[in-house]
Amino acid sequence: MPGVSPARHRARWIALGTLVVTAGLVAVLASRPSATVAALQSPLVGHPAPPVSGVTLDGGSYTLPRAPGHYVVLNFFASWCTPCQVEGPELVKFQFQHQASGNASVVSVVFSDTSAAARAYQQTLGATWPTLADPGGTIALDYGVSHPPSTYLIAPDGRLVAYITGPVTASGLDALIAKAQVSHA
């Protein structure tokens, strides 16, 4: 090309190549299916759930029955945790969808956060389920939780049937319950 230096010509081709690669990456990521909730391995899964008992953020007391009679989503969260903020509305949706039938419920445990911050977050979210303070981290230690969000699914007979780290979704939790019902029927 007359008037265009070889360095400028090369820079244009590099820019064009970068643009094509970026557009391809965006197209691949945009066309991927959304992430689903996947259960992870935990030595606790398949065994009775460790006790869950303590003071709730509203000052009451709560004890999860050894055999709750319905599925329980036990969620460890913190108000400062961005993935927890992503899953919060999904937990509200899940609780709302299962409230009438009573076949599943949510219980939360505060992880490495102040009760005041957790309470304000739960109020903003519209959470109506029991939320326990865990000031010494005893409940988290009993469950082997090292970071939020972490979630366990407890079967009606009190066995742990799934362990999830990262944000959960209402549909993902429903899929885990369906899988647990089939495998333990």
Paired sense of beta strands 71-77 and 150-154, if any: antiparallel
Predicted local distance difference test score (pLDDT) of residue 183: 81
| Architecture of the 53-183 domain | 3-Layer(aba) Sandwich (3.40)
pLDDT above 70 (res 16): no
State the Cα–Cα distance between residues 120 and 138, nearest whole angstrom: 22
Q: How confident is the model at residue 41 (pLDDT cuts 50, 70, 90)?
A: low
* Cβ proximity of 139 and 49 under 8 Å: no
pLDDT band at 46 (very low <50, low <70, confident <90, very high): confident
Tell whether the model's pLDDT for residue 37 goes beyond 60.
no
Give the pLDDT of residue 29. Answer: 38
* Residue-level pLDDT at 33: 36
Is 36 exposed, middle or buried, given 0-12, 13-18 or 19+ CB atoms closer than 10 A? exposed
- Give domain limits for the chain: 1-32, 53-183
pTM, two decimals, is 0.78
